[in-house]
Amino acid sequence: MDERAFDMWGVPSDGPVTFEDLSACIHPADRDRVRSAFAATRALKGAYETDFRIMLGEEIRWISARGRGNDAGMIGRVMFGIFLDVTQRKQAEEAHELLAGEMSHRVKNLLAIASALARITSSSATTTAAEVIRDLTHRLAALGRAHDLIRRHPGQENKALLGDLLTVLLVPYEDTGAFHPRIRVSVPKMSLDETAATTLSLVVHELATNSLKYGSISVPTGTLDISCTTGADEVAIVWTERGGPPVVAPSQPLGFGSKMVVRSMSHQLGGSVAFDWSAEGVIVTLRMKRDRFTA
């Protein structure tokens, strides 16, 4: 291997490298597949290509191995081929797949939200059908404004205050019910850059949608409190629901929306999300690295 290949694989360059040496670097989930593919090239005529992941400590890289099968071009016991670092291409493909799934999921959620907003509007209206229509129109318009926050606008700087962002996102879900206000936001004054604002908008939108479907916002007496604490290196947002239907931890694997929340928090904000399925109501703790969160 040349110098670039040694650096790509993260193996010492002061001696010979065997297939077993390289196999030890391959991601465990890909290792058997790669070994089988490599063995199959001995009987394969013509060019071959296989993509797989390797691990360098905690870093994961995508490698594309390309060569010719059936021992073509072998001199003595030396085979020739190339390794390409295709990490950026694979990350772009994963991002496109995530976006497609996210858009499908969001359309379904918007239909469910519109139906739920119509329900709580009609139950809270006390007079005419015209007022019901007016209130519902206002709610849907607020939902549209919140939805716009989730979209990136190329070239447009987006620095928002955390409190303002949360308020705009949650306005569509507020109604008088038995308490006013029943959605309470108490956070310190801090600004977010575009990436953090977009990511947090997605996460809050998903949590609010779930609450409207199954949690405290789904009933007139439910409440939602959002608080925030900051440290030198970390920002923690706590989402606390109370007064809603009884809560139980999900028995099925995470759905797309929940996976999106976990992925967004980890990949974009270097943080984590924790769910406490207490009987009184779910508590969600979002932890983020401060240097990725604030502008």
d(CA 244, CA 192): 31
Burial of 258 (0-12, 13-18, 19+ CB in 10 A): middle
Here the tokens at position 194 are: 């575009």
pLDDT bracket for residue 254 (50, 70, 90): low
- For residue 122, the model assigns a pLDDT of 64
Nearest residue to 42 via CA among 68, 10, 4 = 68
d(CA 63, CA 224): 46
pLDDT bracket for residue 236 (50, 70, 90): very high
pLDDT bracket for residue 229 (50, 70, 90): very high
Burial of 179 (0-12, 13-18, 19+ CB in 10 A): middle
Length of the chain: 295
Residue 287: pLDDT above 90? yes
Q: Are 201 and 169 in contact (CB under 8 A)?
A: yes
Tell me the domain boundaries of the chain: 3-85, 90-293
Rounded to 5 degrees, φ, ψ at 21 are: -60, -45
pTM (global) more than 0.75: no
Q: Are 180 and 238 in contact (CB under 8 A)?
A: no
Average pLDDT, integer, range 162-166:
87
The residue behind tokens 């991002």 is 95
d(CA 41, CA 79): 11
Residue 177: pLDDT above 50? no
The residue behind tokens 């318009």 is 141
Q: Are 66 and 47 in contact (CB under 8 A)?
A: yes
Average pLDDT, integer, range 233-244:
93
Residue 142: pLDDT above 60? no
pLDDT digits (tens, 9 = 90+) for 45-99: 777 888 999 998 888 899 998 887 666 566 666 667 888 999 888 888 877 777 7
pLDDT bracket for residue 175 (50, 70, 90): low
d(CA 258, CA 249): 13
101-115, 118-132, 212-226: segment of lowest average pLDDT: 118-132
d(CA 285, CA 236): 7
Would you tell me which CATH number, out of the four given (3.20.20.120, 3.30.565.10, 2.60.120.10, 3.30.2350.10), belongs to the domain 90-293?
Answer: 3.30.565.10
